[in-house]
Amino acid sequence: MMTSTYGEHVETQSDWTFRAENVSKTYDGEVFANDGISLEVHPGEVYGLLGPNGAGKTTFVKQVIGLLKPTSGSISLGHFDLIEDPDVARQLCSYLPQAQMPIESFKMHEAVHITGLIRGGTSEDIRARGDALIEALDLTEWRDTRGHKLSGGVRRLVGYMMTTVSPGKVVILDEPTNDVDPRRRRLLWDQIRLLGSQGAAVFLVTHNVLEAEKAVDRLAIIDEGKLIAQGTPSSLKSDDRGRLRLQLMLVPGNGVPDLPPLVQHHSRVGNNLMMVIDEADAAVGISWVRQMTDAGIAEEYALGATTLEDVYIRLTGHTSENSGGA
């Protein structure tokens, strides 16, 4: 076996908790890309990193895998110091970057197989797991197709398989569902959940709050380099208990109308105006949005439970990209 035993490490290495403590990253000593981020992720957990573009999510995971070096703070997995030893970081973590994989010349199964070999798997294991992944994600028809002929979504899934065919103990997925069609998205989420159940700690970097809400065990919201909230989706929503989401579809060309005091906070994506109100104010709210539709300012409205999206908007002041169609 290739396993090199590290003396006493092996017997005692049963704790594979990932820990980041006070991780800060500055460029030119001024701008904080990450500002004192601390978090802990346990084996088997799918952990979401949510935040607007440029919030510092990718910067953070690049420090985990050793592509960037923190200005201060520590990152460890079990008792391995991932900052001191980037070689071990690359072995113990696998990383799906946001950019597409360079697989133009590779047939799908080759890209997966060779990456598995590079990641240190045995040929037999990788072939079995690679074929199982191709089948599970319903990609069999493209198994022998070269990368340059694959659609963006299928290439994204190939990237996922390359990253996880011989996974690390920590698996970092940066926007894994980009360009993927809705049906295969669901298959992909199943695989990500399965990866967790097999013992990997999965980092899921995304700005798609709605998807994350269903897929993650816990999550952190990062904004302007800082970790501003952390917990399970329900615990983060607990502050919004007793509140409702009132949505108004504005007639194109209209600005945000004067809002009544019952609106606690609001945001607009395209022509979609989202407001959070108290349950007690539901009736007043409905009559107000009716006035808006009658006056021709809005086309339709909807009232529903608050989602993680509303928490996200309240905390970051941003909408997540996907909220436009939600």
Partner 1 sequence: MTTATSSILELPIKREGATHWLQSYRAMLRWQLTDMRMLLPITVVVQLLSGVGLVLGFGLLISDMTANVAVYLSTGAVVVTLVIVGVIMGPQLIAQQKAAGSYDFMWSLPVPRSSAAAAWVTLNVFIAVPGMLGALGAAIWRYDVSFDVSLMVVPAIGLTLVTGTLLGYSIGHAVSKPDITQLITQLLVFVIMGLSPISYPIENLPGWLATINEFLPFYPMANVVRDSLTNGIATDVVRSYVVLGMWALASGSIAAAVLRKRK
Question: Considering the rule CB under 8 A, would residue 190 count as an interface residue with partner 1?
Answer: yes
Contact assessment for residue 316 and residue 219, using Cβ atoms and an 8 Å cutoff: no
The binding track of 23-62 with respect to partner 1, each residue x by CB under 8 A or -, is: --------------------x------------------x
Strand segments (E) across the chain: 18-27, 31-41, 46-50, 72-77, 80-81, 93-96, 170-174, 201-206, 218-223, 226-231, 243-250, 265-269, 272-278, 298-305
CB of 251 to partner 1, least distance (A): 40
| Residue 313: its H or E element | helix 308-316
Question: Considering the rule CB under 8 A, would residue 9 count as an interface residue with partner 1?
Answer: yes
DSSP letter (8 states) at residue 259: P
CB of 205 to partner 1, least distance (A): 13
CB of 294 to partner 1, least distance (A): 50
Question: Considering the rule CB under 8 A, would residue 133 count as an interface residue with partner 1?
Answer: yes
User: Which residues are paired to 304 by β-bridges?
Assistant: 245
Question: Considering the rule CB under 8 A, would residue 91 count as an interface residue with partner 1?
Answer: yes
Residues 6+ apart with CB under 8 A from 237: 306, 307, 308, 311
The binding track of 199-218 with respect to partner 1, each residue x by CB under 8 A or -, is: xx------------------
Residues 6+ apart with CB under 8 A from 129: 116, 121, 165, 166
Residues lying near partner 1 in the complex (CB under 8 A): 1-6, 9-10, 13, 16, 43, 62, 65-69, 80, 86-88, 90-92, 94-102, 104-106, 110, 114-115, 117-120, 125, 129, 132-133, 135-136, 159, 166-169, 190-191, 194-195, 198-200
